[in-house]
Amino acid sequence: MQMMRGRRTPTTAANLANAFGVSERTIYRDIGVLVNCGAVIEGEAGFGYIVRPGHFLPPMTFTADEADAVILGLRYVMQRGDAELSEGARSAAAKISEVMPQDAVRRARANGLVVGPANSRHDEVIAALRSAMRSNRKLTFAYTDAQGKPSSRTV
C-alpha cells in the first residue's frame, strides 16, 4: 500500500515484487488480500495497480521514529494551532491511537518529546492565514524590516 500511495501512474506487480524481493505471484495474492480488507486498488495483472487519492487503508502501525514524529507534530499543532486546527489534531491523535497497538500508543505518549509554551496572541493570525490559504486569497502584512523601517508585503 505504501508504495502505491501518492503515485499518479500504476505500478506493476513486477516492480513491486522487485522492490520487496518476492515473486509476482506473492504480489497478486497480497493485492487480493488488501482488496478483500477494503482497500480500493484499481488495476489488473499485466497493467499495474494504483490506489486512488483518498482511498486507502490506514497504516496499522508506525516505526518508533514515525510515531515520535507524528505525536510531536500533533502536540505542536494542539498547542500552537488555532482552535479548529488544535481540535483537528486532537481528533487525529485519537483516530491514530485507535489503530495502533496499545504498547506502541503507550510508548508514543511517554516519549518525552514536548513542545514549548504557546503564544495565544497569535491564534487569530494563524486562523486568518489558514483561511486565506484554503480560499486562495492574498494577505497583506505590515512589519518592520531588518533595518527597522516599517514595511508591508502582500503574499
3-state secondary structure string, the chain? Answer: CCCCCCCCCCECHHHHHHHHCCCHHHHHHHHHHHHHCCCCEEEECCCEEEECCCCCCCCCCCCHHHHHHHHHHHHHHHHHCCHHHHHHHHHHHHHHHHHCCHHHHHHHHCCCCCCCCCCHHHHHHHHHHHHHHHCCCCCEEEEECCCCCEEEEEC
Question: Are residues 4 and 74 both part of a single domain?
Answer: no
Could you give the number of structural domains in the chain?
2
Q: What is the CATH number of the domain that holds 41?
A: 1.10.10.10
Distance of CA 101 to the CA centre of its chain: 19
Give the integer Cα–Cα distance in Å for 50 and 40.
9
pLDDT of 120: 61
pLDDT of 60: 57
Decide if 130 is inside a domain.
Answer: yes
Question: Are residues 70 and 48 both part of a single domain?
Answer: no
Question: Are residues 78 and 140 both part of a single domain?
Answer: yes
pTM value is 0.47
* The domain boundary residue, chosen from 39, 57, 75: 57
**Max Cα separation, the chain?**
68
Give the integer Cα–Cα distance in Å for 16 and 21.
8
Distance of CA 27 to the CA centre of its chain: 26
Question: Are residues 70 and 131 both part of a single domain?
Answer: yes
Question: Are residues 45 and 73 both part of a single domain?
Answer: no
Question: Are residues 46 and 69 both part of a single domain?
Answer: no
Question: Are residues 34 and 74 both part of a single domain?
Answer: no
Contacts of 46 (CB under 8 A, 6+ apart): 12
Decide if 119 is inside a domain.
Answer: yes
Low-confidence ranges of the chain (pLDDT < 70): 6, 53-61, 118-121
Question: Are residues 140 and 87 both part of a single domain?
Answer: yes
Question: Are residues 79 and 138 both part of a single domain?
Answer: yes
Question: Are residues 130 and 88 both part of a single domain?
Answer: yes
Domain residues for the domain of 34 are: 1-57
Question: Are residues 48 and 80 both part of a single domain?
Answer: no
Decide if 155 is inside a domain.
Answer: no
Question: Are residues 17 and 71 both part of a single domain?
Answer: no
pLDDT of 89: 92
